[in-house]
Structure 1
Amino acid sequence: MNPGTPDITGTQDTAGIPDSLGTLDSPGAGPERRPSTIGGYEDWPSYVGTRRRHIAETSAGQELADALGVPAAPADPAAVRDSVVLESEETHDGVTTSRVSWQLGFGPRTGAWFVRPAGRTGPLPGVLALHCHAGIKSGGADRLVDPRAADLQQRLYGGRPFAIWLAAQGFAVLAHDTFSWGSRRFDLGTPPWRTAAVVEGRKALWREAGVVPSAAELYDAAAAAHEDTVAKASGLLGTSFAGMVAHDDLAALKVLAGLPGVDAGRLGSIGFSGGGGRSVMLAALSPLIRSFVVTCMMTTYRSLVPAYLDAHSWLLQTPGLSRLGDFPELAARSTADRFLVQYALADELFPEDGMRDADAILGASGTGRYTGSFWPGGHAFTTDMQDEAAAFLQQHLSPAPLASARQNGQS
């Protein structure tokens, strides 16, 4: 691994996450003592300021890109692909997992895992597996791959390393850390004042309870408060938190389309919770997505007010986005052939009437592209839901449409 390359092996790098999380300077101190509010991303403003907005291929996609303020990912896919570095590779239980990284031109390198059936050279349908929010930013896509994230996998993913399991079903799967998670996290070693104040309060509660937090728990507490600061910075720069996440996801989609053994004419996306919201946005922004799945991330905006606003992050609640229509109507903006939305009837983050209304809106769209399914239980991507999702993607990404395959340079 090259010096300065982030650890993407699944063991979280604790550099920049000291137990103290820095010291809280007096607000009366001179400006020279004020810590950076965007640690590790000081080159972000110049990157956004010199790039045009993402150019979509449909007017519906362009309206969404403009509302989110999505900066253009590198126009030439080779610009990102040429920076892809293979960190390591191993094969277990019939699946080959490659740890890779790439540079987007600002902030730290993106860490990712490319997973596919061992011995299969393709062309295979490609799926971008989008990790959830979960309030855990010390890690990212590792929760979809690494057995050391077993606690989170047990709580949210039915005990499965989902991307590994999905690859075993016959897909080439790319799972990457997106903007502000894992390898793409902010450096909060010396947190900004507001973040530091929140963390000091959280540490006091831990001390009272006799809890000694880990470095990752300290970071996640800081990152939860810091997301508000990142959203402020995004708005000031003419973008949004969700727009920056979409930027990273669009770049990862281009990487997936160019990886060996991937059929660029058969690409899909899948995500649970915050990853489901990312799947909605990505499909509406890129025609490369032919089929997608959204799990436990669909409701109407009005159902969130007044009781459910605090249940969600800036990924869902971009200012002004509702002017384009309700959240389910954003999913219908995609050009995908088919998409599946899975709802959990006892989901703690969404009222049932909001999910039912969203299902009705999507069902009434008249396109015939939408499938909805309702499941018992709370906010989790159960193994039964995963089985349905994989079968749906297999049905709608195989076999390759001949015209689409030729269009994307496949033979």
Structure 2
Amino acid sequence: MDPSARPSAIPGYEDWPGYVRSSGPATVPPRSQRLADTLGVPSPPAAIEAATQWEETHDGVTTTALSWQLGFGPATRAWLVRPAGTAERLPGALALHCHAGNKYTGASRLIEFPAGRSEPGAADDPARHDLYDGRASATELAREGFAVLAHDTFSWGSRRFNLDEPPWRTADALAARQAQWREADHVPGPAEAYNAAAAFHEDTVAKAAGLMGTSLAGMVAHDDLAALGVLASLPGVDPSRLGCFGFSGGGGRALVLAALSPTVRSYAVTAMMTTFESLLPAYLDAHSWLLQTPGLGRLGEWPEFTAFAAAENFMVQYASQDPLFPPQGMRDANRLLDNLHSVGSYTGTFWPVGHEFSAGMQQEVFDFFRTSLGTGVTP
């Protein structure tokens, strides 16, 4: 094959290297500097103008579709959900979507859309049914009296790479998957076909990020810091009462975001807490580059990163039957957190479920935020 015809390995993100070179490192509290340096978190834009695409009220909730441009790659899509008819300032929460092996969609799995407004692939996204108990967790939290922003982060949903013409290594791996589909007389839909390619392509993204001095997790943290800034600036949001939460990869994002930003007052991590030591050797392939950044283990154990956060309190939910984490690793993490934090600042709960964010678990997080952030309007 003619090397001159070789396709881009970062399609749709050819401006990414220049952005990283020009943006400089993110400004974080001194206690978080080593974490930010290891992840290679670039500085997000100081001021982001979010454009409104549409707004509708349905079933007691007002949903506003937003978009903004971060200076590289495709524009970010996001949705703000809040109780209908509330004009005063509310506590704000950033809802962080999971990995789920589904990069065709992102934050849309957390949103209940008005009729005719659903995002492509959202209706068929198995993550909400299989992992979230069929509930749109961002919208459900809005019904509890919060302004909730859910955004697509780097390489998911609207921020995904364009793999219509995949790079050669991804194309070779995808060809084998396509042969399996043909053998099974299966015709994949757009989301399934894209996710198969994206699973292989994540290694390429991680290599590209490392070459630039960043990481997949660092770029995700960049997008999350930007979204947190957008949330704090929106009318009707009290910037002094901000929280974040997420399940699985979203839970890892919540921990990192709280560690990097002093504006996060409270946060919740669901089904994403263990020790790094427990992942070796059998559980390494259970997780993606979003958790396993090179050099991260030199900073300490994953639970110890909670000490970098300025948040007043936080919650960790453990899924005791989770096949992605060894039970001893979760118990060790809980013990570390109990010893590391003062009474009342850390809440750990164990649920007899697999890798999921059940309705009961969601309600526990919502109740936690009602206590830690308050509800309703500010004086």
Report TM bin, short chain: over 0.9
Whole-angstrom distance in 2 between the partners of 1:167 and 1:232: 38
Tell me what 1:303 maps to.
278
- Determine whether 1:212 maps to 2:187: yes
Letter of the aligned partner of 1:103 in structure 2?
Answer: Q
TM-score calculated relative to the size of structure 1: 0.88
Letter of the aligned partner of 1:316 in structure 2?
Answer: L
Whole-angstrom distance in 2 between the partners of 1:321 and 1:278: 14
Residues 307-363 of structure 1: per-residue CA shift (max 9 Å, x gap): 111110001000001111100001221010000000011001001000000000000
Counterpart selection for 2:32 from 38, 55, 61: 61
Whole-angstrom distance in 2 between the partners of 1:161 and 1:150: 12
- Determine whether 1:280 maps to 2:255: yes
Tell me what 2:66 maps to.
100
> How big is the shift at 1:399?
6.4
Whole-angstrom distance in 2 between the partners of 1:329 and 1:258: 30
Gapped runs of 5+ residues in structure 1?
1-25
Counterpart selection for 1:73 from 44, 49, 60: 44
Kept after mapping to 1: 8 A contact 2:145/2:375? no
Tell me what 2:119 maps to.
none
Whole-angstrom distance in 2 between the partners of 1:292 and 1:122: 23
Tell me what 2:120 maps to.
none
Whole-angstrom distance in 2 between the partners of 1:365 and 1:233: 36
> How big is the shift at 1:34?
0.6
Which SS does the other structure have where 1:332 is aligned? helix
Whole-angstrom distance in 2 between the partners of 1:232 and 1:122: 46
Q: What count of residue pairs does the alignment treat as equivalent?
A: 369
- Determine whether 1:263 maps to 2:246: no
Aligned structure 1 segments of 4 or more residues deviating by more than 3 angstroms: none
TM-score calculated relative to the size of structure 2: 0.95
> How big is the shift at 1:152?
2.4
Whole-angstrom distance in 2 between the partners of 1:150 and 1:92: 21
C-alpha distance 135-399 of structure 1, shift in aligned 2 (>3 A): closer
Whole-angstrom distance in 2 between the partners of 1:160 and 1:126: 20
- Determine whether 1:361 maps to 2:336: yes
Counterpart selection for 2:108 from 138, 142, 163: 142
Whole-angstrom distance in 1 between the partners of 2:245 and 2:337: 18
> How big is the shift at 1:122?
2.4
Whole-angstrom distance in 2 between the partners of 1:35 and 1:182: 22
> How big is the shift at 1:398?
1.5
Matches within 5 A, 1:226-237: 226-237=201-212
Which SS does the other structure have where 2:129 is aligned? helix
Overall identity of the aligned pairs, in %: 60
Letter of the aligned partner of 1:97 in structure 2?
Answer: T
Kept after mapping to 1: 8 A contact 2:110/2:150? yes
Which SS does the other structure have where 1:63 is aligned? helix
Cα RMSD between the aligned structures?
1.4
Tell me what 2:370 maps to.
394
Which SS does the other structure have where 1:264 is aligned? strand
Counterpart selection for 1:89 from 42, 52, 55: 55
Tell me what 1:33 maps to.
5
Residues 254-307 of structure 1: per-residue CA shift (max 9 Å, x gap): 000001100000000000000000000000000110000000000000111111
Letter of the aligned partner of 1:307 in structure 2?
Answer: A
Tell me what 1:19 maps to.
none
Whole-angstrom distance in 2 between the partners of 1:101 and 1:313: 27
Kept after mapping to 2: 8 A contact 1:300/1:358? yes
Whole-angstrom distance in 2 between the partners of 1:150 and 1:181: 13
C-alpha distance 150-231 of structure 1, shift in aligned 2 (>3 A): closer
Letter of the aligned partner of 2:22 in structure 1?
Answer: T
Letter of the aligned partner of 2:63 in structure 1?
Answer: T
Matches within 5 A, 1:127-166: 127-146=93-112, 148-149=123-124, 151-166=126-141
